[in-house]
């Protein structure tokens, strides 16, 4: 057998293993939730092959960096096309895919917003105090991840393919780090239409500023007084001001209506809510979805 023939056979086996990977399907929040393990998921990853030490405690690879689960939520009534809009959400410290679903109700908020989009939640560091993005920090890794995600979604919807038309990156707290690498070198920068950080601008300011300076359509930074992001958010605002880059500031308070949001540009959104309330207590995630006029409603597609 020639080397080229052997290589072709190996590729066929690898491709077949993708579809051999079990996909758990369940009705969820007015739609369908798919859960599977993907080879391109953030973990396991070489950067955490030995686990991670934080504040005098060790977080092992086996317990915290071995889970390659990815949840994919497709709302009921999703209208099929030759491409799709995807919202990819990255969780923060001390979380898992299951805890994000239970606590922040993102599928429920997508259903309530009525947008024709697919929600993707990859497992990051599992129940650990860590912002590391694993394999997704590598150049081109996000493009490979989305290719695998889109294959799973397409197969469930009985389509040949379902590549991303546009992308929304959403992150809470420690999700900021991996998102910054996706903006810099993930391989799908031209597809990223929105970037939302829910009390998460702890660092990587240069990567976010670069995306804004290069014409990123909309960056929304929702921040609090006590979540640890106040000084870095103000620092980015000062930098944009010094560089004569426009931005908008809005304010919301608990118990009051959420503010109208501009459809483009950088938005600094200050709130008096707590750090863990900024995603769901006032349905802020759904509010942002509704503010995306470019994101088609299911009934309009």
Which positions ≥6 away from 143 have C-beta within 8 Å? 186, 187, 188
Which positions ≥6 away from 213 have C-beta within 8 Å? 243, 245
pLDDT at 299: 64
Please state the domain extents for the chain: 22-300
pLDDT for 96-131, tens place per residue?
999 999 999 999 999 999 999 999 999 999 999 999
| Contact (Cβ atoms closer than 8 angstroms) between residue 141 and residue 148 | no
Closest CA to 220 of 161, 149, 182, 170: 170
| Residues 22-300, CATH architecture | 3-Layer(aba) Sandwich (3.40)
pLDDT for 8-19, tens place per residue?
333 343 444 445
Q: Are strands 69-75 and 84-90 parallel, antiparallel or unpaired?
A: unpaired
**From its phi and psi, is residue 68 left (phi > 0), alpha (psi between -120 and 50) or beta?**
alpha
- The three-point CA angle 125-127-129 to 5° equals 70
pTM here?
0.92
pLDDT at 1: 46
Instruction: Write out residues in the chain with pLDDT < 50, as ranges.
Output: 1-18, 301
């Amino acid at each position: 057998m020639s080397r080229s023939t052997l290589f072709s056979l190996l590729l066929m086996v690898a491709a077949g293993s993708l579809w051999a990977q079990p996909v758990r399907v369940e009705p969820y929040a007015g739609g369908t939730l798919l859960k599977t393990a993907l080879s391109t998921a953030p973990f396991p990853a070489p950067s955490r092959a030995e686990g991670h030490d934080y504040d005098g405690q060790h977080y092992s690879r086996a317990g915290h960096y071995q889970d390659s689960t990815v949840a994919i939520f497709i709302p009921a009534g999703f209208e099929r096309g030759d491409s799709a809009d995807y919202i990819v959400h990255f969780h923060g410290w001390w979380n898992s895919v299951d805890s994000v679903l239970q606590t922040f109700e993102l599928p429920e908020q997508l259903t309530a917003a009525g947008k024709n989009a697919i929600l993707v939640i990859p497992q990051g560091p599992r129940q650990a105090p860590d912002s590391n993005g694993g394999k997704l920090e590598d150049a081109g890794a996000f493009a490979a991840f989305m290719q695998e995600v889109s294959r799973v979604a397409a197969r469930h919807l009985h389509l040949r393919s379902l590549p991303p038309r546009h992308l929304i990156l959403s992150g809470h707290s420690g999700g900021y780090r991996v998102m910054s690498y996706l903006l810099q070198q993930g391989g799908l920068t031209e597809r990223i239409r929105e970037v939302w950080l829910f009390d998460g601008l702890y660092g990587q300011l240069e990567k976010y500023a670069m995306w804004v300076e290069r014409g990123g359509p909309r960056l929304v930074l929702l921040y609090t007084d006590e979540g640890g992001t106040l000084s870095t958010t103000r620092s980015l605002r000062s930098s944009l001001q010094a560089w004569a880059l426009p931005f908008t500031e809005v304010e919301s308070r608990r118990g009051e209506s959420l503010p109208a949001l501009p459809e483009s540009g950088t938005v600094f959104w200050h709130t008096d809510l707590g750090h863990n309330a900024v995603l769901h207590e006032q349905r802020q995630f759904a509010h942002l979805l509704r503010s995306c006029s470019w994101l088609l409603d299911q009934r309009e597609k």
